[in-house]
A and B are shown apart, each in its own frame.
Chain A
Amino acid sequence: MAKILFDSKFLHQLNSLKLVSKRAKKIFSQGERRGGKAGSGLEFIDYREYQVGDDYRYIDWHLYSRLEQLFVKLFRQEENLTVHLIIDESESMSSGDPSKIDYACQLAAVLGYIALVNLDEVGSSTFSSQLEKTLPPRRGRSQIFNLFHFLEGINTQGKTNFSFCLSEFSRRQRKGGMAVVLSDLFDPKGYEEGLISLRSQGWEVCLLHILQENELRPMERGEVVLIDKETQQRIETIIDEVTCQRYEQELRDFFQKVESFCQHYEINYLRVLTSLPLTSFIFQDLRKRQILK
C-alpha cells in the first residue's frame, strides 16, 4: 500500500504548476482551462457579425450605436480537461526500494493534485492482467482525498497485460482526455497495441516509464537463478561483464524502440528511475518536457 505523504511546502509548490495538454480531446463543459475555440467563456477574443440564432445577450450594443450594425462578442471557450492516471499494479512494480509502485503512486498523486488544483477532472485506474479498479474522473478539491485514498489502496498483483488493459480502458472511457500511464512496460506481449488504442480514442498519452537502478545495470554477478516476479519463471545463468553488456545493449534497444514508437504516435514518453527524487523529476524533468508548466 503506497503512502501518499506530502508536506505543505511541497503542496504549495505544486499549486503553481499546471498540466499541459496539447492534443487532448477536451470536454466543452465549464472549466478552468482556456480553450482554443470561441465559446461561452469569460475572456473576450473577437467580434463577428450577428447571425440569425445568435444569443442576443452577446450583441455589443455599444458598437451597434456607433456603427449601426449588429456584432456579437466572442469569448474564448473555457474547456474542461480530464486527466486519467493509469497505473500498472502488476507484481513487477513491487520491486525496488522505494518500489516502483510507490514511486508511481506518489507521482500519480502529484499529477492528480496538480490537475485538481487546476480544476481539471482527475480519475485513475489500475491494471495488471486486467483493469482492476477505477476512480471515476471528478473535479474539485474533494477529489484530491478520493484520489489519495484510491492510490493508497493500490496493491501489486498479477501479471502485466499492458495492451489488453489499455485497449479495454480506451473502450470504456470514450470521452478522451489526458492519459498518464505509469508502468515499467515489462510485458512480453508488448505495449504498442494498448497505446495505439488510447491514441485512436483521442487520448493524449503521457507514458511515464518507471524503472529502478539495477534494472538498468544488474548488480548481481556469478551463477544465479533469476526468478521472474510475475511469472515465477526461472532462468539459470551466469552474470558476468559480458552478460551485463549484452543486457544493457538489449535495454538500450528497447528504450530506443519505445522512444521511436512514442515519437511516431505523439506520445509523451519519459523514463524515470525510482532513485531520482520526486521533486527533481517533477520540477525539472516534467517541466523540461513541458508536461507541466
Chain B
Amino acid sequence: MTVLNPSALYLLLLLGVILFFYLLKGRPRKVIVSSTLFWRRIRRSLPAQRIHWRLPPELLLFLQIALLTLLIMAMAQFLFSRKERKEFMVIVMDTTASMQATDLIPNRLAMAKKRAQEFIEELPENTQLALVQADKRPQLIANFSDERSYLLKGLKALTPADVRGNETAALELASSILPAQTRGRVIFFTDGAFELDIDYLPQNVEFITLNKKNSRNLAITSFELRPRTEDSKRYELLVKVTNFSWQKERFSLRLWLGQNLIFKSELVVSSQEEKEYIHNLEVDKKTILKAEISPYPQDDLILDNTAYALPGFSERLNVLLVSKGNLFLRTALESYPQVNFYQKQIVLPGELSYYDLIIFDNIIPPPLERGNIVCLGVLPPNLSLKEQDPQPNSILTEWEIDHPLLRFVNLENMNVRQSLGIETLPGADILLMSSAGPLMQVWQKGGLRLLFIGFDLYYSDFPLQIGFPVFIFNLLQWFHPQVFDPTYSQIQTGEEFVIFPKAKKEEITIVNPHNEIITIENPKDPLIFSETRIAGVYTIDGKSLFTANLLSAHESNLLSRVTFASTSREVNRQVKNEYSESKLSLSPLLILLSCLLLLVEWYLYHFPRAIGKRRSKSSKRTA
C-alpha cells in the first residue's frame, strides 16, 4: 500500500471539526411534565420513537467520519501494489565549480539541494534511491535505499568542489549502478554549465537545471608560466581572461609575486570575448605567483577570478653514474644546471640514499630496496630473474611513444647489436620490445623506481640518435618532475598530484588552501595525492608544494548548454504516473464507497423509522 499524495492526509484534521460540531450539537432538552403516563403509552405505540430503536446519533457520526475518511483517502491516492516492484532512481548532484555561482541565492548548489530534497520527499515510498556526486571524479555517496533520511543526510553533506565536472562519467556511473532488467531513472540536478555529448548520454536521464539566463562571469581561463630559454630565472607569464557575460565587463587585473604587487591594470573585455596578457617576470626563488581579476561589479562566480603558480626552481639533483666510464651519459647529465653529477665505479649500499638518481652502467648494483635507479645492461641481484644468453641483433618491434620516458623520442632507426636476453619483470611496464625480448622496462615497488635498459649503450647506436638527449631529459623529468617540469607544481583542481618523498616517512601532512590539515599515514612512494578539490596553494612542511586552479572555460561559462531540461515537478509527475500505472489505485473504489455511504446516511437521516419498524418486526418474530 502506497500513498501518492500524503499531504492530503492532513485533511484528516477535518474529522476534529465533525466531532466538534457533534459536541456542539445540543443534547435532548429536558422537559418536566406532570406525568409521563401517556408518553409511555405513545412510545409503545410508536416503535420508531423508542429511543433504543431509533437511529442513534452515533451511527450518523460514524457514517460521516467514515465518509470523510474515505474521501481523504481517495484524495491521498492510496495505491495497492498488484505485484511488489521496486523503482530504482539515481539522483546525480552536480557539485562542480559552476554550482558555486551566486546568481541563485544563496548559490546554485544550495538551490539544487533544496529542489532535490523536495523531489525526494515527494517520490513514492518504495522507490529505491541512490545518490551520486558529479564533479571531477564522480562518486557514489549513497547506495540504493528506500530510507529517505539516509539519502537526505548524504545530500545535505554535499559540498561544492572547485573542480571542472566530468558529467558524462557521472551519468555513466549512475546509469551503471542501476540494476539490470529494471526500468531505472537517472535524475541530474545541475546548472547545465557543461558541454554534453548527446551521443554518449545514457538513456533514462532527466536533467533538472537551475540557473539564470543572464548570469555574469569573468574568468581567468588560462594561467601559464614558462621559463625563458636564455635565463632560467626569467619567466614568461600568460594570463587569459574570458568574459562569459552577455555584456561588456570592466575589471582590474593584478599580479602578485609573493606579497609584492608586480602588475596592475584596468581593462575592458567585450561579451564572449577572451583577452590574453603576457607578462615577463624574473624569479629568484620559489615564490607564489597570483593573478587576480576584480570585475566591476562583482560577477556571479568568484572562484575563477584568481589563479596561482609556483615559479622558481629551488632544488638540485644529485645524480650518480656508477660506471667504468660513459662519455655519452656523462656529457648528457652534466649539461643540466640542476644536476650535481657524480661518477663512481663502486657504490656502497649505505650511500644509495644520498643520491636522487643512480645509473648503474654495466656494473652490478647492490641489493636495492628504494631509490631512483637506472640499470644499463645489468640486473639488480635481488630481482631473481633468469639471465639468458646475450641476444645478437635484436630487432625493435614496438615502443610506447605515449610513455613520458619515450615522449618525442624516435627509435625507428636505432640498432642494438647485442642485448641481454631477460624475461619481463613481474608487474613491469614494457617500454621497448624487441625480437629478443623486452629491452626497456619500468618497474616500481615501494620506494624503488627502476628503469631497466637491457642493452649496453656501446652495443647500440642509441647515444647517436637525436632522441638520446631527449630521452635523458625525459628520464630526469620522469624521475624528478618537480625539478624539470615547470608545470609540475601547477595542476587543475581535482587532478592528482604525485609526490616523491626523498626518504621514507611515517606520515605526510599537507595543508590545503582552506588551512585544513590532511595527514597521510604510511604514504606510498610515490604518493598520489588526490584531495585537490579546492583551488589555491597546498603546502607541505611549511613549504609551498603545488597550486591548484580551475582554469576551465567550460566550467566558467555559467550559461546552460542543456536544452532539454525538465523541471522537478514535471519529472516527479512523470514518475508518479509511471508508478501509478504499476499500481491499482484505490481512489475510484473509495469514491464509490463514499457515495454509497452518503446514500445510506441520507436514507437513515430521513427515514429513521424504517430501521425501527424492521427491528420491531424482527423483535416480534423473536418473541
Contacts and interface: CB of A to CB of B under 8 A. Distances in A.
B584 to A, nearest CB: 44
A229 B54 contact: no
A188 interface: yes
A220 B40 CA distance: 16
A61 interface: no
B107 to A, nearest CB: 66
A214 B586 CA distance: 56
* Main DSSP-derived SS at the A contact region: mixed
Interface residues on B, range: 20 to 34
A215 B42 CA distance: 14
A226 interface: yes
B40 A235 contact: yes
Given A223-B28, A225-B29, A235-B40, A243 B35 contact: no
A246 interface: yes
Interface stretch (B44-52, B74-82, B406-414, B536-544): B44-52
Nearest to A159: B35
Given A237-B39, A246-B46, A247-B39, A229 B33 contact: yes
B31 interface: yes
Contacts of B23: none
B83 interface: no
B34 interface: yes
A226 B36 contact: yes
Interface string A233-257: 1011110001100110011001000
Contacts of B28: 222-225, 236
Contacts of B39: 226, 235, 237, 247
Contacts of A96: 34
A236 B33 CA distance: 13
Contact of B49 (A212, A215, A237, A250): A237
B36 A184 contact: no
A215 B39 CA distance: 11
Given A226-B36, A236-B51, A246 B45 contact: yes
A230 interface: yes
B43 A235 contact: yes
A226 B46 contact: no
B30 A250 contact: no
Contacts of A92: 34-35
A242 B31 contact: no
Interface in B8-67: 28-43, 45-46, 49, 51, 54
A186 interface: yes
A251 B54 CA distance: 24
Contacts of A42: none
Contacts of B30: 224-225, 227
11 contacts: A224-B28, A226-B31, A228-B36, A229-B33, A230-B34, A235-B43, A237-B39, A243-B46, A246-B46, A250-B41, A251-B38
The 4 closest A-B pairs by CB, nearest first: A186-B35, A92-B34, A236-B51, A228-B36
Interface of A: 92-93, 95-96, 100, 184, 186-188, 212, 215, 220, 222-231, 233, 235-238, 242-243, 246-247, 250-251, 254
Given A215-B34, A237-B39, 14 more contacts: A93-B34, A100-B34, A184-B34, A215-B33, A222-B29, A226-B31, A227-B32, A228-B35, A230-B35, A235-B40, A235-B43, A235-B51, A237-B43, A246-B45
